[in-house]
Structure 1
Amino acid sequence: MKKILFMIMSVLGWMNLTSCNDYLDIVPKGNKIPATLADFEALLRDEYTIGYIPVTNSLYLLNDKFVGQSSLNSVTLTSVNYLWNETADRIVLNNQDEGTYYRSYMAVSTCNLLLEHVPVATEATDSERNEVMAYAKVIRAMSYYILANYYADTYVAATAGTKLSVPLITSADINAPHKQVTIQEIYDFMIKDVKEAIQQGLPRQSKTVIHPNLGAAYAFLARVYLQMANYEEALKYADMALEQNDNLYDWTSYYDTHKEAITKEGSYPSLPSAAGYDYVENYYFRCGEGNPNYATGELNIPVERAAGFEEGDARFLSRWKLRTVNQDTYYQGLARGYFNGAGLTTCEVYLIKAECLARRATGNDFSAAMDVLNKVRKTRILPEVYQPLQVSTLTEAIDLIRRTKDNDLIFTIVPFADARRFNAEGTFARTLSKTWKGQTYTLIPASHLWIMPFPAGAVQNPGNGTITQNVSK
């Protein structure tokens, strides 16, 4: 899967030029203009173009990804986010964090190209064409979800129709006009795309795990509706997703298998990633932070972040180990391989379901929500430590569900999007606090840091449209 055909991107540009000059009909030696469905479908397998979407600065803001002291001694975009520097002008500093923006739109552009040209692709049936188009619509919607929850405010029904989100681009033409739409419009577009994909015949069993299947579509709709605080729809689609796949990986067995290597004093083994392409929890695999062209190591996490894991969490014990190198102490990642950092998994869907059940509970009966949470925890918490959780208030339920979700989906967009959602709701908002070099730092729920600024290149060169920054600095 790693060495799939890479289409020549310049050829894709030629397909969208409006000029009729004869020289455009000349194919360079050794290159190929896509024509068959197989040619176009191969673009979905170019993971570096369509699946490599980092959300690095959101990880810094949450302090999920460790940053060494030497990288914090000057004012950079990294240090501003990691140390919650409210006074720095991130717009000026944002000449480096372009990966999230351009890689997301690269995936969008590929999907747009497929949706424009697959209908006339040769050597295929209508059903086969519809399947490829359905994959493209789900991937495009997921790319817009990352953009909307990174560069714009979170969804709030009362303001979603007036606040700006991100540019909505639906054409692969280089000079196609585009508009920066409202938050409501981008959410409506995502939902429409995915529901059309389902109607178009998205298969229960996709071609590969890097092609989103029917379960992935349901899981993504559950994620989107949760973000919109539409808990009934989120619950409905969570149940539909779990009907497609409800498997959970046994992390306690993984820990037992590798325990000797993990616990050996002074040893930092390179363990195989369990959350790769064959992870039983996958609906859809998308690399996110990890480069899909080669195996990468698990990211390191700060000591303070490690304290947020539940006692006896086998997933934590299997993935990180305390280490000190020179002036830095942190938890070093132990796994190496491929990680599903931007896709969809059953664990996320179970926890969406748990939150929705908790919110609809009556008479302080949170047992259904806790049953779902405990089902997940039983595959994560060592048997000698595990105890089923029970709660009597919604606040307790949300706190426990959120703890497991933040920990299980660390390094993905989800904890960042959830934090923004809870901050906007107010009831479950949190002020983050830490001490670094004797100084206390805080990040309040209303901070402008929760919205990432568009990169300078995008604002200065917006193409055939305009981009308005969603933050003041």
Structure 2
Amino acid sequence: MKRYKIYIFRCILAIGITVFIFSCNKFLEAVPDTSKVIPATLDDLEAMLWDGYGLNGGASGLIEMGTDDFYLKQSVFEGLEVFSQQVYTWDRGLDITNANINQHWGSTYKKVLTANVVLDKLKSIRSDDQAKAKRLEGEALFIRSLAFFQFSQIFMDTFDPATENEGPGIPLKLSSDINEKVFRSTVAQTYQRIIEDLNTAKDLLPTQVEYKTRPALPAVEGLLAKVYLIMGNFKMAEESAEKSLAYYSYLSDYNKLNSSLAQPFKTLNDEIVYFAYTGSTDMLISYTTNVDSTLINLYEQDDLRRKFFFEFSTDGSATFKGWYSGINNCPFLGINTSENYLIKAECLVRRAAYQEAKNELKTLLKNRYSLGKVAFIDEVSSELLLPFILEERRKELLFRGARWSDLRRLNREGKFQTTLWREAIVNGEKKRISLVPNDKRYIYPIPLPVIELTGVVQNER
């Protein structure tokens, strides 16, 4: 155990230094200093994968910061740094400079670099414990895939089933080789890599693990379900969600939980399949962030999530308290059972299996509504069932990294397009700002230092 702790400390320190100091000459080509760490055994590699904060936390909060689920009072807006104000107003001139690069780029690519070191070292380490070697390979592939997926929702266009998806994707760093030249893949290549690596991981990982900070088959299938849903491949999304639920399907009954707690959900709650969460969100999402009133009104009085998710003030406004990660102001970005039920229900509707979709909804919502209050699901018409499910996604997955992706993918479907609005006084001028469907501002700019060091193509705003 002592040896484990030493390696954990040394690995975390070396990786953190190399990734977070971007004054080095090559972005994405900085790797842990193996001359100091020297991972030479499977135990050493496993120690690298025990970096709970570095691998499970620290993801960019940009995936939540541009949604329509919250608003800021002017006094709060004025107290933010310029970068956060620009994010909030969807500013075309947004510039992710050195001040924010670690938070929104470096911390996620740290996961990629850690995974690549493990994958590369596994090729040279000789061990009789092949089962452990396979498991570590599967974990590293999952970690890298999740990191790529998170970046795909922020720094590249969404997948469009009607096109070849040849637009710029993300840089796919697949090796710890410092001499490897980094290029931007296409959108299609990004998703192809994620899917291929996850399919490989399925043959390497166990059906369950002791700790939810480590991936197993339910997490792999759950991530595949999310990926396929965004791609519009509803057949494969349904299959993956169903497989994930076959491995693990537990739902918490909100009738049996305490909604009066300041933080109603514990870290690693029982619905979580794989634990992941954002880092800081520049205080853009915090105690002083108000939830949009239109969203609040979607929750009926019998909907227990109204009590679990929101703290109401005397002026009628509400702030969010239902942090699924169990960590205040840190949205959950992992895999969970309730999202799998909603993915499966949506896919069933899209192939006209209406009653089956209702059954999935009942399974979920009987754990979210007061006892005996879900019979209304039977009265939802076939024509309204898909909009109903999409609304339930918004209500259930609030601040869980889903809304931004849903807006992007549903903007491809005319009847579900949404125009977002925000109001703020900027430089003394009151402005009402809009974000229209398929606007280029749905793709964040790559940090300027990355562009300067690598020459990769910048996103248009």
Report if TM-score (shorter chain) is over 0.5.
Answer: yes
Amino acid at match of 2:77: L
Q: Secondary structure in 2 aligned to 1:454?
A: coil
Does the 8 Å contact 1:149/1:417 carry over to 2? yes
State yes or no: 1:34 paired with 2:25. Answer: no
Listed as ranges, the matches of 1:457-472 within 5 Å are 457-462=449-454, 466-471=455-460
- In the alignment, the residues of structure 2 paired with residue 340 and residue 51 of structure 1 have an alpha-carbon distance, to the nearest angstrom, of 12
- Equivalent in 51, 54, 57 of residue 49 of structure 1: 54
Taking the aligned partners of 1:92 and 1:233, their CA distance within structure 2 comes to: 36
Matched with 1:369 is: 357
Residues 230-249 of structure 1 mapped to structure 2, 5 A cutoff: 230-249=233-252
| Contact in 2 for aligned 1:225/1:234 (Cα 8 Å) | yes
Q: For 1:281, give the aligned amino acid.
A: E
Q: Does 1:414 align with 2:402?
A: yes
Q: How far, CA to CA, are the matches of 1:43 and 1:313 in structure 2?
A: 42
- Which of the residues 158, 165, 171 maps onto 1:167? 171
Distance in 1 (CA, whole Å) between partners of 2:297 and 2:424 is 16
Structure-2 residue corresponding to 1:18: none
Q: Which amino acid aligns with 1:322?
A: F
The structure-2 alpha-carbon separation of the partners of 1:427 and 1:53, relative to structure 1 and needing over 3 Å to count, comes to farther
Letter in 1 for 2:413: E
Distance 2:306 2:60 in 1: 21
8 Å contact 2:263–2:321 — kept in the other structure? no
- Match of 2:59, SS state, is coil
Confirm or deny that 1:449 pairs with 2:441.
yes
Q: CA deviation at 1:300?
A: 4.5
Question: How far is 1:204 from its partner?
Answer: 0.4
Aligned equivalent of 2:369, options 377, 381, 397 = 381
Hey, what's the Cα distance between the residues in 1 that align with 2:81 and 2:160? 32
For each residue in 1:104-133, what CA deviation from the matched residue of structure 2 results, as whole angstroms up to 9, or x when unmatched? 111011000100012433665111101011
Inter-partner Cα distance in structure 1 for 2:129 and 2:390: 45
1:197/1:167 CA distance change after superposition, 3 Å: same
TM-score between the two structures when normalised by the length of structure 1:
0.81
Quick check: 1:64–1:302 contact (8 Å CA) kept in 2? yes
Tell me: CA distance 1:441–1:410, structure 2 relative to 1, closer, same or farther (3 Å): same
Partner of 2:418: 430
Corresponding residue for 2:339?
Answer: 348
- Structure 1 counterpart of 2:276, which letter? R
* Amino acid in the other structure paired with 1:237: S
2:387 paired residue among 388, 395, 399: 399
Instruction: Determine the structure 1 residue equivalent to 2:223.
Output: 220
Alignment match, 1:281: 271
Distance change >3 Å, CA 7–CA 236, structure 1 → 2: same
Runs of at least 5 residues in structure 2 that lack an aligned partner in the other structure? 19-32
* Deviations, residues 229-287 of structure 1 (Å, cap 9, x unaligned): 11111111111111101111112221xx34xxx3xxxxxx533523x22x222221112
**In structure 1, C-alpha distance between the alignment counterparts of 2:399 and 2:288, rounded to whole Å:** 8
CA RMSD of aligned residues (A): 3.3
CA contact (8 A) 2:408 2:438 kept: no
Who is 1:117 aligned against?
Answer: 121
8 A Cα contact 1:322 1:330, kept in partner: yes
The amino acid of 1:58's aligned partner reads I
- Pick which of 211-220 and 434-443 moved more: 434-443
Query: Bigger CA drift: 73-82 or 47-56?
Result: 73-82
Amino acid at match of 2:88: Y
Across the two proteins, how many residue pairs are aligned to each other? Answer: 430
Mapped contact 2:159–2:165 kept (Cα < 8 A): no
Alignment identity in percent?
25
Corresponding residue for 1:266?
A: none
Q: TM-score, normalised by structure 2?
A: 0.83
1:359 paired with 2:350, answer: yes
CA distance 1:102–1:65, shift in 2 (3 Å): farther
Consecutive unaligned residues of structure 1, counting only runs of 5 or more, are 16-23, 263-268
Letter in 2 for 1:72: F
